[in-house]
Structure 1
């Protein structure tokens, strides 16, 4: 690691050593400042070293790293004669005067620039990246350099998640933007804009900076009615696929309605996931994410396209409406309902690694999931340069039922889980001016309830629950009720290049946990199987956030002082804990915009984390049929020290984007977890009071380049992760080391106008070591090759292949998949007629390995059979 940092700083210093800055003003002959003039610096071979566009005052600033004695500076603007001048390579001020030049264009050839930059906004021309087979904006986003779209639909720019997703500057979906990506026809979109350093709250734009980016979808027309509709049917077995998603976008209204249903393996429920950073952070801080206390033993999901293995029957309805009212108010309603029935069928072989032995467990599993959920959000917002007001009222409800059958060593075992969750949340935030400072008031109130039950037949853990005698049924009941509120007031004041924001706030959480484990023999077990836990948590804090902004520097230093109070009590078990602790958790972040191409950031901080209620309960809880947990200890406390650094490169002119990021964390824990692995593979988890440390390192990098001449996009990425920690396995203290690394690439090229090739590779490796037992390295590789042919303008033929190779601990597993698609588009109505043949070779199962802290899980997953589907699709 020392070698890595030494190489990094030597590389860094080599750039800083040869850094020169050029600035000046561009005028016309009447001494009027010219806006929008292109200023480019090149070396003697013509390579671009830096560029800028003059602002409204005609000024430009360019910083370059170049060791040659002279450079060439070029000034170009429509309607003026171009200027090219060789100057000494040293920091200097150069003003230019352009002369008017009128000329006649005999013939005009318009060629769209793929990527252009204007200040903090980078615009991607959709037409430059579109191919004939594309249908939605999601198809375009996946090949834009600098942008990455995850398998869950999350969008990352330069390796970091975006903080907002706008359509024509409006946030219609409130973080659930995957719904628009998968259904908005790309033909209606002119540009995809990346807004760097985006501050979503306009009144704070000049006071509080952000290092996150936002995406804005620019439409071709001011009034757009669009969307898509499709209907499909097929065989093996009887299949259907339906989608009707109309959309309306005007200056003051936006509407998106969607009904989707299929049993072809397409997971449309993922389109309702919350993906933006702001919404995810709010859920994490309020501890209001759905927590599954109980679970079935499931099959590990394959790491390739869900369409090959997801056995589903899904119905989705979503209604999203935004209306701009008078006085700059916006009202937004988002409603969605999901009903899905899924099945899993296959087997697992689990190998538990202990310091002295290995325990192997073989299971055949069949699971059924009945999923129902309702989400509703009503939002009122005013976001102007003078004030900000937003009230968000949200309801979430889950009614899930799951059933599972396991064949364990020749004996059948039944599981039934009722997994429900209900949440009501209201968040109010107001920012307004008082004198020359901004006042922020925030109030968040959350109530949620988690009633869950798990029944296992026959009963398990006989030694623990029934004196070693077998019995028919084990029933676990959990009921958790939570009230949470967070309120604060802050003041934001700008003094020259500094902004100061002192904040005073208060958090309070009141939870009541009631659990009961019972058997068919003894209806109620003794008290150590029942929790009646009352949990009260409060935090009062004062925080001073200081930001500094000058030229290319951005610094953020936050100093929070927190007073934590915990009152935990379980009267029937006569257990109680009270804790009051003062913590100081400073954080520092530095961002340096090196020049137009390079950006560097660094952050470090410390924080204290305290356990949640599911990490401290004095009585046993059966989490699944072979995992029972009792954490009768002190409140978990974790002291974290973290550090991150990143180097980012973006060059829209050369369509080249890249980043390298490093993360480090060092955590001191007051509890050490002890896992007892029984001979039948069942595990019992407890905690003891013993200090221990967990260390983690992660390095990742990504590089993407678009070649506009040959319409080719190439992406490469790599990552390395290391973890070191301790755990007690079968009463013996064990050092655990986990390592994982991998690399990947993606190439998409237009061989000819009618032949397009797509290739993607992902290769992952994992290895763990428990005490002195080192396990073999597990590798997983995935190759995708798509051949896209367009024999005629309105015809499309594709062969989509996928090769998956897994090195298992018992043997090697290989799978090859091939799909075929033929599409005919009517010339008059632009209706797609599609014939899809999936899994041509009828591959029926897939084997893979997953690695946890001290176990290997080999999974044999039954896949979807060969299927034929005919679809009709058209844009609305």
Structure 2
């Protein structure tokens, strides 16, 4: 029945396409030498005073195409191109093809003023001038990206365009960093960059460019020189306590080679792991990764909502080598290797309030945790990406040797904790696309292995009510060994049939996950209720077919996927079969977009998918995840069915530098397992699951908008979101409807007020609300404001004055203030900056933040870095 309804829906869509009457006007624009003109602006109006009916930009071939909805008998066609006389003609309102010859402008200018354009548009490419947005205080390309309308940089460094993450970060069209673009973003000298290009609807695989459309954007950095040597070097010393920092990041970019090498170290609170965050996309959709899953951890305080340099007590070292070279004409070889060594101290306290249907349980804890981080990661990539062939083989590896130590004081006693979590993983991915005849043959393979051995030691021992024969004891040891092997392989073809493209694919995947865990109390092994020895086998055979439709004018885009999967899941416990699941799954998805005009575009999407529990949701023996959380899932294999729907409406007027996106997402999920949390008076939680169908719903509404106001030399950005999530839980043996609301609003203004003064403001408001069975508990309101002024005393020196304010609605100390002062002097044209900064002038010693989870409020208090002064020399080249 669902399939029949879906086919009827698709039929109605195509009926709408065919009955929508439009006048189609095509043409070719050439100069006096019959040379095609790329980037000419074409507009059609009803008359000389009416608004624009249609808008287009000529392609490389000089061709343009647009559709007009008008009842009049005639139209006005206008074409303009820099350096040529404007073209204007009255044409009939009928389908037609035109050839337009533009004549060079004959106007003689006595004085020519060359002025850098802020923005140019050529087809789906927006080109922003870096010099037009760059302020005197900006040193690296990230400083400028923050000012460009439509672009957002998230706290972790991820770049978004119109509310969606970019899929590629190119430098001169080459993807050197394979997703770890923070290294370039935070270190590439802004003076070496000429333009930032946004490639809208970018298809990164060239052989698919005319076959499969993409709704995501990519970013390309254009350099000023064909051969560019750039980078940064910095050294600094400070006091209270002794502070130091060092960085050297040379870069070279040529036509055939690119390289970024860095060594960085500091104890000033700068989190170096941010520079190697990986934001890469999987182009072919395999869900298997080699990310680490942590089974045990210290009970720690989450990161506060401001710069880590305010609170992070660290001693960090980072080395990274990234190199790209062309092999022959078509191949690229890339090497990306990074090593991070960091020790961090975290001191603070947390007060947690758990809400249950009958009571509110409050606990207080003071923590002092040490984290020792050692991470080696790397990728070796061979890629061929040309118009008629695609090959990419990537070998990725990870090795972590992390440990944690902590002391915790609660109302009862002092708890000592220790965690060791070594991890190793390797994965190879091969993607091959090659034309054979009139179709494109595809082959994809993703194979990997990962293993972790974790141990949690807690003194004194916890959970005496269920461990050690209900007697107090000295030490608890939780050991967890887990491993996973997976392989996912598929083959298919892509073929164009007129305006349709079909992509059938057949494949199989195999996954084996193993879990061995045990608990010892005072060195004695606990009984089978506290041990696990599991094997999970997940086998799939699938047939995936995708149909894509795109009109010639690219106004309509449709993608329909109809994957059919046979899934076999088997669980073995202590070598014996425990249970198995066999399912034939149909998981359709639909995406439809339409360009309403040159500025407006809308899209809808929907999908149905199934998720079956992995090994972290099926183990019957208890595992202690931290000193006061113990859980098991002694229930059937979990099965979740999710329906997801979304709608978006976007507006972009590049020449006016105005961008906005409104989106709504709804998800409805059915699960066969209901989670039960038993919360004791001391805050310890025992988590179980029972076999019972239950539902959860999620609503999310978001708005992003940005505008550059040239008269005020200001960039204005607004973000807002509202989410509502409801789900069933069992809290202290009572079935409860848990509802969480979150409202967030953000405002950012970056302005050059005068030539000698610029300012930046960032503010946000957050509202959190929790309700159990429609009974509302205390609501949380957080707001924060950041205001900075750059006062340019001369062309080579400026003062930076920054103030921060944080407030919340429920703590006794509900306000926090910070004040920073900086001075920078540039030595002539040497490119050397002397920077002196005084952070936390008010010597604010702690910060209080309030957050919310499913059925609790958590008040976190952070010990902050003291007032400190740091002087550094920075060289950009």
TM over 0.5: yes
Return the offset for 1:601. Answer: 1.4
Return the offset for 1:515. Answer: 0.3
Task: Identify unmatched segments of 5+ residues in structure 1.
Answer: 1-12
Return the offset for 1:444. Answer: 1.4
| 1:752 aligned residue | 754
Aligned 8 A contact 2:290 2:426 in 1: no
| 2:130 aligned residue | 126
| 1:831 aligned residue | 832
| 1:524 aligned residue | 525
CA distance in 1 between counterparts of 2:26 and 2:207 reads 30
Is the counterpart of residue 173 in structure 1 residue 173 in structure 2?
no
CA distance in 2 between counterparts of 1:20 and 1:756 reads 49
Deviation per CA, 1:560-592, whole angstroms, max 9, x where unpaired? 1101111101138x7711111110001111122
| 2:312 aligned residue | 310
| 1:227 aligned residue | 231
CA distance in 1 between counterparts of 2:868 and 2:335 reads 38
SS at 1:726 equivalent: strand
| 2:566 aligned residue | 563
| 1:344 aligned residue | 346
| 1:740 aligned residue | 742
Deviation per CA, 1:740-775, whole angstroms, max 9, x where unpaired? 111111111111111001111111111010125311
SS at 2:142 equivalent: helix
CA distance in 1 between counterparts of 2:379 and 2:855 reads 42
Aligned 8 A contact 1:302 1:848 in 2: yes
Return the offset for 1:735. Answer: 0.5
SS at 1:842 equivalent: coil
Aligned 8 A contact 1:737 1:768 in 2: yes
| 41 and 655 in structure 1: CA distance in 2 versus 1, 3 angstrom threshold | farther
Deviation per CA, 1:230-268, whole angstroms, max 9, x where unpaired? 000000100011110000100100111000011111112
Task: Identify unmatched segments of 5+ residues in structure 2.
Answer: 1-15
| 30 and 849 in structure 1: CA distance in 2 versus 1, 3 angstrom threshold | closer
| 668 and 344 in structure 1: CA distance in 2 versus 1, 3 angstrom threshold | same
Q: Which moved more, 1:311-320 or 1:422-431?
A: 422-431
| 1:5 aligned residue | none
Matches within 5 A, 1:747-786: 747-786=749-788
| 57 and 385 in structure 1: CA distance in 2 versus 1, 3 angstrom threshold | closer
Aligned 8 A contact 1:629 1:685 in 2: yes
| 829 and 65 in structure 1: CA distance in 2 versus 1, 3 angstrom threshold | farther
Return the offset for 1:63. Answer: 5.6
| 82 and 435 in structure 1: CA distance in 2 versus 1, 3 angstrom threshold | closer
Aligned 8 A contact 1:162 1:276 in 2: no
Alignment partner of 1:251 out of 246, 250, 255: 255
Aligned 8 A contact 1:658 1:701 in 2: yes
Q: Which moved more, 1:441-450 or 1:451-460?
A: 441-450
Return the offset for 1:844. Answer: 0.7
Aligned 8 A contact 1:161 1:276 in 2: no
Aligned 8 A contact 1:274 1:280 in 2: no
| 2:4 aligned residue | none
Matches within 5 A, 1:403-552: 403-409=405-411, 411-520=413-522, 523-550=524-551, 551=553, 552=555
CA distance in 1 between counterparts of 2:111 and 2:320 reads 50
CA distance in 1 between counterparts of 2:110 and 2:209 reads 46
SS at 1:631 equivalent: coil
Aligned 8 A contact 1:847 1:858 in 2: yes
Is the counterpart of residue 39 in structure 1 residue 42 in structure 2?
yes
Is the counterpart of residue 856 in structure 1 residue 860 in structure 2?
no
Return the offset for 1:39. Answer: 2.7
| 22 and 714 in structure 1: CA distance in 2 versus 1, 3 angstrom threshold | farther
| 1:114 aligned residue | 118
Alignment partner of 1:217 out of 216, 221, 230: 221
SS at 2:778 equivalent: coil
SS at 1:276 equivalent: coil
| 527 and 791 in structure 1: CA distance in 2 versus 1, 3 angstrom threshold | same
| 2:187 aligned residue | 183
CA RMSD of aligned residues (A): 2.4
Return the offset for 1:73. Answer: 5.0
Aligned 8 A contact 1:18 1:67 in 2: no
Return the offset for 1:327. Answer: 3.9
Per the normalisation by structure 1, the TM-score is 0.94
| 58 and 376 in structure 1: CA distance in 2 versus 1, 3 angstrom threshold | closer
| 2:3 aligned residue | none
CA distance in 2 between counterparts of 1:363 and 1:646 reads 44
Aligned 8 A contact 1:18 1:66 in 2: no
CA distance in 1 between counterparts of 2:675 and 2:384 reads 49
CA distance in 2 between counterparts of 1:45 and 1:710 reads 29
Return the offset for 1:710. Answer: 2.7
| 344 and 49 in structure 1: CA distance in 2 versus 1, 3 angstrom threshold | farther
CA distance in 1 between counterparts of 2:32 and 2:336 reads 56
| 1:141 aligned residue | 145
CA distance in 2 between counterparts of 1:273 and 1:99 reads 51
| 65 and 496 in structure 1: CA distance in 2 versus 1, 3 angstrom threshold | closer
Aligned 8 A contact 1:345 1:862 in 2: yes
Return the offset for 1:386. Answer: 1.5
Is the counterpart of residue 870 in structure 1 residue 871 in structure 2?
yes
Return the offset for 1:318. Answer: 0.2
SS at 1:409 equivalent: coil
Matches within 5 A, 1:832-847: 832-847=833-848
